[in-house]
Structure 1
Amino acid sequence: MRQNPSFAFTDVAELRRLIDRNPWVTLVSHAAEGLVASHYAVLLDEGRDDLTIVGHVGRPDDAVHGLGDGELLVVVQGPHGYVSPGWYGEGAAVPTWNFVSAHLAGVPEILTAEENLAVLDRLVARFERPMPSPRLMWERPNDAQFIERLERGTVGFRLTPTRVTAKRKLSQNRPDEVIETIIGELSGDGPHRNPGLAAEMRRSQDARDAARGRAGGAR
């Protein structure tokens, strides 16, 4: 992530929303043999209201990452996509990439087997609940022996980040009419259609409009 203050955001509620809506993350560690990366789903710790996350890795990724021994970087990637210079109007312009992303870094705590089982149960429920016939972790045909074997093949962790870097680059530096054009193009049926990014831009623009309205009313 570009290390400058442009488009940075620190609002905890917005960061929690980003994590909750984009649970498939990249885990990066600096191991003895160099950088290593893995990909897993995480959840916000339901007992906290900060940016603490819980998750698991499958063995032997715990050893590969040295999980619990050093700093772990968790990369959360939200909506992102291409923005054509043709959407800016007639002036000189180059393309860009809009995105929402966060980096969470800290030393993870290893969970007990009981805690890990609870996280695995939550993770399955999170994605199975919307299914027409959910297959939850403890439901038949799964039995306790099967679930215990599953748990032994994983290592759960809890990470309370000590460093957070987040960017929300959604064309905020452009005039309102250009932002509306970009949202329209991303919502359309063109080659760079991206309704998820369009929705994120619309949400950002609506928040900016509301803030400007409040500022105007305060005068």
Structure 2
Amino acid sequence: MINKDYILRLAEQIGYELSIVLRLRKRNLHEDELLAIDNLLLKYTGMTSRFINSLSDETLLQSLSPLGKLNVESSLWIASLLKEEGEAYSALNNSRESYYRYTKSLFILLEILHQEHVAFDSDLYEDAANLIAKLADYELPAHLEQKLFRYYEQKGMYAQAENILFDYLEHHPAPGMIEAGRAFYGRLQEKSSTDLELGNFSQEEIHEGIEQLKAFEV
């Protein structure tokens, strides 16, 4: 689990650097804002925005995981700065570019939350919720839906996890996700009724979900 004090110190540093970006945004100097973000990315990650955004999400994740261990500091800088880059493109009415920044930012942030077992009271969960809200009206890439499925279960939001599961299977009936669904319901069967209720779920819905899942196994 990431040390909470470490996250707070890093968040303060990121917030300080972003204050310059936000001042440019308030003055509608969005091109200058994008340049400032690019400079910060290069300073703190050694990578430019153009390079980062040229990589697939999975390739970017691999580059941030030397020897299989996620570089949390670089990952947080990238997630934070890509989100702000998305805001700049949104202000420029370039929804295509903002969409790609938001999805890549969310992908990295969800991976941090999963790999590092971040405490649920961390502001990082609020950051993830804000990005999810920004993308609510868009179709998400399949690999990001997989991350969201895992995220919602991790948060104890079982109904939302199930919605993601079946939405994914409607469009991508892949054996791997079917197996993930079976494992999901298996874990839920071990939960108490109270835990299920907190996740807006029930034993009856588990059985219904298992039966619904069988339709995709044919």
TM bucket, shorter chain: under 0.3
TM (norm. structure 2) is 0.26
Larger relative contact order, structure 1 or 2 (CA cutoff 8 Å, min sep 6)? 1
The structure in which a higher percent of residues are helix is 2
TM (norm. structure 1) is 0.25
